[in-house]
Structure 1
Amino acid sequence: MAEIGALRRGLTFWRRSIQARVVVSTVLLSAVVIAAVGWFLLRQVQEGLVDHRRDAVLAEAANETASANDQLDDFIGVDTDTSRQLEDLFAPLRDAGTARGFQVVLAGPIDAGGPLATQGPRFSPDDLALSSVPDALVVKMSTASKPQWTYTRITTTDEHGERVQGPGIAVASQIVLPADGKTYTLYYLFSLEEAAETQALVTRALLTAGGLLLVLVAILTWLVTRQVVTPVRLARRVAERLAAGELQERLRVTGEDDLARLATSFNQMASSLQKQIRQLEELSRVQRRFVSDVSHELRTPLTTVRMAGDVLHDARVDFDPATARAAELLQGELDRFESLLADLLEISRFDAGAAQLDVEDVNLVDVAHRVVDMTRALADQRGVAVLVQSPDHACLAEADVRRVERIVRNLVTNAIDHAESRDVLVRVEGDDQAAAIAVRDHGVGLAAGESAMVFNRFWRADPARARTSGGTGLGLSISLEDTHLHGGWLQAWGRPGEGAQFRLTLPRRAGQVLRQSPIPLVPEDSQELV
């Protein structure tokens, strides 16, 4: 678990730190470039060392062969013993090899054929293994007359009796022995240990220099990015404090470079936002105060007008038909005016942040049935049947029953008003985390984009359409505020000709965060699911 936590913290740091990503990316790219350059330099050094050593080896082998031929010329007509001439020829070559660091093998004659180990007579140093002479070179010399060379592995025996191998070059030359007139082969074995050591030294130097260079690049990159990232981090912290409401926060400006100019522009933007936010807050406060004052001040004249209207409405039977109708219209508009005034007062409480919940366990099934019973008269008047689909058990949620009933009543009356004489379905469902009520109608529906605007104050899809149910235009706005007060969701779906569905989702426990709703927002009979 500790390893997993450390890995997660590391990944989080990698995602959030642009400085770390820039440093790592720069170091990786630098490592690739250094590796490529180092490989190229090593190749050049290796080829240069080997080529130089090869040229020197071929020249020295040619000189030794020339000296051997000169010595053979002195043997002509002096001695006809083959073995003795071979020994006299090999001895100075062996001594020269010991002095100058190479090994010599004398073998032949070449018409003997076969591997070197089977050819005879042959002469070689005691500490040299004949396998140091490649078989391919022996075969080639059986047919070639010019000197040949190849790379090989030289195997020798040290003073402790252990076999030691190392890289080398084998050079072969032919000579004709005067004693028998046959052709013999001289094999010169030159070690490449010095070149290998030089190459190893260069490799270690390049690796050390490359490592130090990478560290230097990482430090420089970190320092450079720090100069850029640090002001950005400071700006982020200041922006977070501004977002949290600390509008007086500003960036410190030092210098006259681009970052300083950016900080100046940021401070100017923050000052402008602070000024506009304060203006908006003042305007909002004045607006809320105005709505609240007007709503309260209208109470007294509305009460007086209500009393007069009630008297006229009760006495309408004694009036002529036109006056009686006017009294009825006055009574209806007074009812609507009182509802509008109550909604305005409720909106002002929401705007002032004074709305509070009276939380208790609420059975949404009972709420749905009570609301349907309260709106039955309106539904009968519109020729609409309101049906309730609910589980057999209680569907409980911690909520304010008065506000929940108001939300559901607004949704049901709105559905009845737009159902166009078709059935309205009120569905109640719940799970372990949430409880929901969905109100589905099959009326005019909502056009694209209207599902987000339907909760705006005084908004109507068709401005020419009258509020036949006597609504104030604030019902859905108040319902949305009530839902937010509970920490719930109030969402709308609709399609022209398919009707609409409004879904209220409340958490089972007050303060619990909602993750999902037990009722899908898009109804099952929608064409979207076909």
Structure 2
Amino acid sequence: MRRLPPVRQIRQSLPVRITVLMLVIVTVVMTVLSVFVATHVRDGMFEERLKQILADSTQRVDWVQTSFNRSSLESVDQVQDLAYQLMVEQREASSGVGGIGVMLMRDPNSTSTNVINAVVDEQLAPVITDDLRAKVREAGGNYWQSVSIPTAAGDQPGIVVGSTIELPMVGTYDMYLVYSLAPEERTITMINQILAVGTVGMLIIVGILMLIMSYRALLPVRRAAHAAEQVSLGNLSVRLQIEGEDELATLGNAFNDMTSHLQRQILDYRQLANLQQRFVSDVSHELRTPLASIQIGADIISSDLDELPQHLRRPAKLMGEQVERFSDMLADLLEISRVDARTARVEHEHTDLVALVTQVCAMHAQIIERAGVEVRITAPETGVEAAVDRVRVERVVRNLLLNAVEFSEGNPIDITLAQTATSVAIKVRDHGVGMTDEVASRVFDRFYRADPSRQRTTGGTGLGLAISAEDAQLHGGILTVLSCPQAGSSFVLLLPRFADREIDELPRAVYDDDIIAARARWARTHPGDVDTTVGVSETTGRDLGTFSDEALADEDDEVADEVGGDESDGAEDGEERT
């Protein structure tokens, strides 16, 4: 099983996210608590130790001063000896309360001419700074200061207490007592370690408990999510097992009720759809017999049209046209009913597509002439041939042609044919009103009309493009559209060239560089109408992603190099027919 990255795992797993959030909260709380406890203990121990040190230092300074006052000294040497002796005694006596040194230094402001040597511990001498001596003289009594005491094992925290004493015959001297706080530091370190270990242990315990609890608590939610996935795949028979009477049980009951309701509704819709399909199919088949009789009568009347009275000729002609239109509409309804019933079949036969397109244009020459448009057919000199269902392809071309005539606004219509080793393409390009992307995304829907107020001039049921898309899909191809408002539309029918081979190479005709450029210009002033952020292959095709990625990549590179350049490739090695 592939392991997810930590961040993605946290985002996709609610138990993990809850556990991580709880661990963060516990970590913050324990950190604040540990800092508070450590600080409080440290400050309390320091204050208590400071009181003890000040009391001890005061007692020893008083003892030294009393000893000098009571002594009967007759010379400076005797003062020197007594001073040394007292400093040694006090150092040994203060060791019980953490004292590590006692020093005696002459007051720099003393005016006595008699001087004794200072009693100094060379290892502790650096802690007696000039600033400390100046503060002792200013205080006029006991003055303490926190210092860092250098030792062989490293610096240790300590306190120095300085006081002034009067020595016989030699004047004022400063007495400094040095106390170590190393035991207190070790105690605080031990407390911090205990707090750290306790915090880590608590985090582990809380993390495990939260993961287990959240996993078990969210088990119904995971079951619901899995059931929802099954419903999204179409399995409406899935149901949740209900346990308890809490909110999750309420959710499970609601889910089960929803799936049951959906199952009943979809069953009803399917039955209704089947009835509608059967109705359309039955009505269409039943109408064929009376329509055939009517059409025979209309043909007989049309054949004797010149013998009719003048005032009956036009109604007879209109009746013939409407009967023909009704026949086409009935054929569309029958075809869409076959598609819905999945009974439509494709009969492949070798077909000359250039001749087929030319024939379709000739069959509708009157409509084209009446609309005042020019149809230009461009195809390779070698022709375009493929194994297709001739009837279906002819219907697709007819629908695309009549649709282009309807919306060309009198501008020319270009029909381009092209082929590769595995595919053929027929592109119908008009230069009319065009469409926005929203309209283009729905143009293959049944009965959809982009502008309901627009009056049709070529008739139809509104099923033409929908049936054309189905015909293309039955062949294993696609019908795509690329359009731009006021620049026209380009419909491309892309089909496999052979019935037993898939498309792995796209003809150059599926691309429309002029429409792509027009879309880019239109998007500058109408950004909501077209989307120019997608690639060439995506804008060209409705579903080109179903074909070979390598073929699309090669064609995209080709188009990217040629957009805005020479656009004569579509007619290269070809001829134009009208």
After TM superposition, the score normalised by the length of structure 2 is 0.76
> In 2, Cα distance between the equivalents of 1:401 and 1:9?
55
Which amino acid in structure 2 is aligned with residue 30 of structure 1?
Answer: V
One-letter amino acid of the structure 2 residue matched with residue 67 of structure 1: W
Aligned partner (choices 14, 19, 31) of residue 18 of structure 1: 14
CA-CA distance at 1:362 after TM superposition: 9.5
Question: What is the alpha-carbon distance in structure 2 between the residues aligned to residue 415 and residue 145 of structure 1?
Answer: 110
* Counterparts in 2 of 1:294 and 1:29: CA distance versus 1, 3 Å: same
| SS of corresponding position for 2:108 | helix
In the alignment, is residue 256 of structure 1 matched against residue 256 of structure 2?
no
Task: Name 2:44's counterpart in structure 1.
Answer: 48
CA apart distance, 1:168 = 1.0
Contact preservation (8 Å) 1:430, 1:518: no
Contact 1:440 1:499 survives alignment (8 Å): no
- Mapped pair 1:292 → 2:286: no
1:243 matched to 2:232: yes
**Who is 1:185 aligned against?**
174
How far apart are 1:299 and its partner, in Å? Answer: 2.9
Identity of aligned residues (%): 31
427 and 95 in structure 1: CA distance in 2 versus 1, 3 angstrom threshold: same
Counterpart contact for 1:435–1:506, Cα < 8 Å: yes
Instruction: Give the conservation status (yes or no) of the 8 Å contact 1:94–1:125.
Output: no
2:522 aligned to which of 504, 525, 528: 528
1:478 paired residue number: 467
48 and 359 in structure 1: CA distance in 2 versus 1, 3 angstrom threshold = farther
Aligned match of 1:155 = 150
Contact 1:436 1:518 in 2 (8 A): no
Which amino acid is 1:166 matched to?
Q
Q: Determine which of 257, 282, 296 is the counterpart of 1:307.
A: 296
Change (3 A) 1:348 1:10: farther
**Stretch moving more, 300-309 or 446-455:** 446-455
Alignment partner for residue 406 of structure 1, among 377, 381, 395?
A: 395
Mean Cα deviation higher: 358-367 or 169-178: 358-367
Distance 2:425 2:72 in 1: 121
What CA distance in whole angstroms lies between the structure 2 residues aligned with 1:391 and 1:259?
68
Distance in 1, Cα, partners of 2:505 & 2:19: 40
Q: How many equivalent residue pairs?
A: 510
Whether contact under 8 Å (1:411, 1:502) holds in the other structure is no
Instruction: State whether residues 399 and 468 of structure 2, in contact with CA within 8 Å, keep that contact through their aligned partners in structure 1.
Output: yes
- Which amino acid in structure 2 is aligned with residue 239 of structure 1? A
Residue in structure 2 matching 1:172, options 162, 167, 171: 162
1:22-75, Cα deviation, whole Å (9 max, x unpaired): 222232233223222322222222222222212211111111111111211221
> 1:144–1:326: structure 2 CA closer, same or farther, 3 Å change rule?
closer
CA RMSD, aligned part only? Answer: 3.9
- In structure 2, the CA distance between the partners of 1:294 and 1:97, relative to structure 1 (3 Å rule), is same
Closer, same or farther: CA 428–311 of 1 in aligned 2, 3 Å: closer
Matched residues in 1 for 2:479 and 2:207: separation?
51
C-alpha distance in 2 between matches for 1:310 and 1:166: 120
User: What is aligned with 1:211?
Assistant: 200
Instruction: Report the Cα offset of residue 518 of structure 1.
Output: 3.7
Structure-1 separation of matches of 2:157 and 2:350: 91
Q: Distance in 2 between matches of 1:346 and 1:518?
A: 30
Change (3 A) 1:193 1:338: same
Name the structure 1 match of 2:260: 271
**Are the aligned partners of 1:434 and 1:505 in contact in 2 as well (CA < 8 Å)?**
no
Of the three residues 122, 131, 143, the one matched with 2:126 is 131
Q: Where does residue 61 of structure 1 map in the other structure? A: 57
Residue type at the aligned position of 1:56: Q
Alpha carbons 2:487, 2:518 under 8 Å: kept: no
Question: Which whole-Å CA distance do the structure 2 matches of 1:362 and 1:89 have between them?
Answer: 127
The residue type equivalent to 2:489 in the other structure is Q
* Structure 1 Cα separation of the partners of residues 10 and 420 of structure 2: 39
Distance 2:253 2:150 in 1: 77
CA shift, 1:368, in A, is 6.5
Cα distance between partner residues in 2 of 1:17 and 1:488 = 41
Q: Distance in 2 between matches of 1:40 and 1:266?
A: 50
Q: Distance in 1 between matches of 2:410 and 2:309?
A: 35
2:150 and 2:156 in contact (8 A); partners too: yes
Cross-structure match for 2:564: none
Give the CA deviation at 1:120.
6.8
Measured after TM superposition, the shift of residue 199 of structure 1 is 0.8
CA contact (8 A) 2:490 2:512 kept: no
Residues in 1 aligned to 2:416 and 2:342: alpha-carbon distance in whole angstroms: 32
CA-CA distance at 1:363 after TM superposition? 9.8
2 CA distance for matches of 1:236 and 1:305? Answer: 60
Runs of 5+ in structure 2 lacking a partner?
525-578
Q: What's 2:337 paired with?
A: 348
Counterpart AA for 1:190: Y
Q: Which residue of 2 aligns with 1:97?
A: 94
In 2, Cα distance between the equivalents of 1:88 and 1:523?
106
Residue of structure 2 equivalent to 1:501:
489
Residues 42/321 of structure 1: CA separation in 2 closer, same or farther (3 Å cut):
same
CA 1:469–1:91: 2 relative to 1, 3 Å: closer
> For structure 1, which segment, 331-340 or 99-108, has the greater mean C-alpha deviation from structure 2 after superposition?
99-108
Letter matched to residue 409 of structure 2: E
Please tell me whether the aligned partners of residues 107 and 120 of structure 1 are also in contact (alpha carbons under 8 angstroms). no
Task: Check conservation: 1:419, 1:499, Cα contact below 8 A.
Answer: no
